Chains A and B, each alone.
Chain A
Amino acid sequence: MGIPGSGLAKGLAVTLRTMTKRTVTEQYPDVQPELPSRTRGVIGLFEENCTVCMLCARECPDWCIYIDSHKETVPPAAPGGRERSRNVLDRFAIDFSLCMYCGICIEVCPFDALFWSPEFEYAETDIHELTHERDKLREWMWTVPEPPPLDPGAEQPKEIAAAQKAADKLAAQQAKEAEEAAAAQQAESGQAGEAPQAKDAGEEA
């Protein structure tokens, strides 16, 4: 404030400065947008990992996942063994007109069969066509980006942390054993060497 009219000049300066800067307009159909790596565009199914455990369908808040399966018996791996039964996926479909992109199915999947993909261009003219079957969901897997690197100073992923812990424990145990062994050895040789020394001392005294 102070000089009258300085506010007016400030206003002009703001617009002029904005004019010299880059615009923020996305030219979408011509230029694809740069999406962040965790974008929730569509859900991809890595069906090789799916065991038809149905956890995703049960946890889905709006019941938009449809799963059909049947059981097959697998002959025993070794002669004389027992026959095993296995679930085979018949149908896996997600109705994206119901899906609210909460991602609970992806969180809950214990076998890493569901993934977020940043793909978003799957609009349809009919709402029924938004129910996408397993082949389409499998195709979207190819658009899933590799997981982004961890933030600096972040916690390690669980798998690595667990493995690390086990390795550390093993290493600590081995070190302890080695130490104990070394101590025992030293104690043995020390007892052997200490007695004559004491004797010498006694003689001198």
Chain B
Amino acid sequence: MSDTLAIVLRVLAVFVIFLVFPLVVGQTEHKVMAHMQGRLGPMYAGGFHGWAQLVADGVKFAQKEDIVPAGADRRIFQLAPAVALLPYLLVLIAIPVGPGNAVGQALDAGVFFVLAVMGVGVLGSLMAGWASANKFSLLGGLRTAAQLLAYELPMLLAAASVAMAAGTLSLPGILDAFQWWWVPWQIVGGLVFFTAGLAELQRPPFDMPVADSEIIFGAYTEYTGLRFALFLLAEYAGIVVLCALTAVLFLGGWHGPFGADGLGWLWMLLKTVVLAFGVIWLRVSYPRLREDQLQKLAWTCLIPLALAQIALTGVIKVVIS
């Protein structure tokens, strides 16, 4: 009985995090982006500095009519938002937030699971683009596919480097083996992982698949109401997951200069928040890459860097063992 209760509690905790954190990131993005552009951002909803803006947005989305275009592939079209969103919930279960047992579900092949399921999330956009019966959606979907192919590889290679260093695929296992000098050792891999993750989330400056000035909103063009909101939520859930994963793999997760036993989750939270701020910062600062620049960056820059990181990891691993 207590086992069941513990499982329910864990799942509930993960679910609450999944529902709250993306909204917090979204609101932070509203405000940070506004101030970086010399504006104030939302100021009315909720009274104090527009804190309830995203709640208001959610209410608005829920009230809108849910439209499926006449020529669309109905079933696939309606399923796509769920496919985009749910993988991030699954990934969140496997991410350790503190030492010991503070993880939704410890998996032996954690890195493998996490990266595989995150890849599924991109499939949602692809389904949406194909099922919408709209040329802009299809263009967006195909760009998503091209981007997924290009950036999944460097991401996997960078993660593989960490797994090599730790000698395990388990995320808690990697954190148990973590030493502070892994940060400079794996820094290149970390940068590659983070950049490739941004591209996989289709965040600016890698938002070619949804380039609103060219192809309206890419794969999401035909979506309205709650389904559209789910796609947006998936993007922000993706940011949370990417930042948490980068923190776990490359920045030592719950390890900190002090207080790792009691305050481990705080270190993890701090690292995730700083990375999420970085994601927003990059969006404000850089213009969108062209499609060919996007591909060039992945194939001629990130993949060689990731391979070099793996080579470095291998050499050092052999030297110290």
A residues neighboring B (CB under 8 Å): 8, 11-12, 14-16, 18-19, 21, 23-25, 27
**Distance between B62 CB and nearest chain A CB, rounded to angstroms:** 28
Q: Give the 9 A-B CB pairs with smallest separation, nearest first.
A: A15-B36, A25-B40, A11-B285, A19-B35, A19-B36, A15-B285, A15-B284, A24-B38, A12-B285
| A residues less than 8 Å from B38 (CB atoms) | 18, 21, 23-25
Other-chain contact of B36, A8, A16, A24 (Cβ < 8 Å)? A16
A11 close to B35 (CB less than 8 A): no
Q: Is the interface of B mostly helix, strand, loop or mixed?
A: helix
A14 close to B285 (CB less than 8 A): yes
Interface presence of B37 (CB below 8 A): yes
**Nearest residue, chain B, Cβ from A21:** B38
**Distance between B288 CB and nearest chain A CB, rounded to angstroms:** 13
Interface presence of B258 (CB below 8 A): no
**Nearest residue, chain A, Cβ from B40:** A25
Size category of the B interface is 10 to 19
**Nearest residue, chain B, Cβ from A10:** B285
A18 close to B37 (CB less than 8 A): yes
Interface presence of B75 (CB below 8 A): no
Q: How many A-B residue pairs have CB under 8 A?
A: 33
Interface presence of B164 (CB below 8 A): no
| B residues less than 8 Å from A8 (CB atoms) | 286
Other-chain contact of B40, A11, A16, A18, A27 (Cβ < 8 Å)? A27
**Distance, CA A18 to CA B281, complexed state (A):** 12
Interface presence of B32 (CB below 8 A): yes
**Nearest residue, chain B, Cβ from A8:** B286
B281 close to A15 (CB less than 8 A): yes
**Nearest residue, chain B, Cβ from A12:** B285
**Distance between B29 CB and nearest chain A CB, rounded to angstroms:** 13
| B residues less than 8 Å from A14 (CB atoms) | 285
Other-chain contact of A12, B34, B35, B43, B281 (Cβ < 8 Å)? B281
**Distance between B300 CB and nearest chain A CB, rounded to angstroms:** 14
- Residue of A11, A14, A19, A23 with most partner-chain B CB within 10 A: A19
**Nearest residue, chain B, Cβ from A11:** B285
| CB within 8 Å for A25 and B39 given contacts A8-B286, A11-B286, A19-B32 | yes
B281 close to A23 (CB less than 8 A): no
| CB within 8 Å for A23 and B40 given contacts A12-B281, A12-B285, A14-B285 | yes
**Distance between A198 CB and nearest chain B CB, rounded to angstroms:** 92
**Distance between B150 CB and nearest chain A CB, rounded to angstroms:** 20
**Distance, CA A2 to CA B166, complexed state (A):** 38
**Distance between A133 CB and nearest chain B CB, rounded to angstroms:** 37
**Nearest residue, chain A, Cβ from B32:** A19
